[in-house]
Amino acid sequence: MAVHKLMIDDFDSVDYSLIAIHSSLEDYRLAYFINRELEIRLEKCPNDISFIQKESKAYFSRYLFEDEENDVAWNLIQNKNSIVSAPENAQSSLFSGGEYRVTTSVFFLPELKRVDYILKVDNEETEENVIRALLAVKYIATAYKIDHNKLKSKNNLIF
């Protein structure tokens, strides 16, 4: 009887590209300008991406367009967000005025703290054209490709 071995490298293929976007726009406005420039239809997902970070739940907005004709999925994901939490051992004093809250910044991909949004494109072959089109949007400061191999938190991209 023959023994068949499956190597984990056989399943470790990257079939998506990641593009970092630096922009000060709100997520819905950025999605509008990307839709207009790339001629796609990103729509707000009803369920945001959520993680437990720093003992609080962090939510990141997600816009999705599935192009079934070309078999391409587009995901625009917010990379920066803030969570508000109350410290556990907060003691109120005479001058504190009650409870206070602490605001903490959290990141979808912590290695890329300066990136505002991530564009994940599944099964797209021409990422240079996508980056060129993104740079044509006047509200995007810069856009560039992200190397998958340098990411430690690539499991966050599984949704």
Contact predicate 157/120, CB 8 Å:
yes
Is the pLDDT at 120 greater than 80, yes or no?
yes
**Share above pLDDT 90 across residues of the chain, in percent, rounded to a whole number:** 42
Q: What is the pLDDT of residues 87-112, one digit of tens each?
A: 665 555 555 555 667 778 888 898 99
- Cα 33 to Cα 47: distance, rounded to the nearest angstrom: 22
Q: Which residue has the higher pLDDT, 48 or 132?
A: 132
Contact predicate 17/121, CB 8 Å:
yes
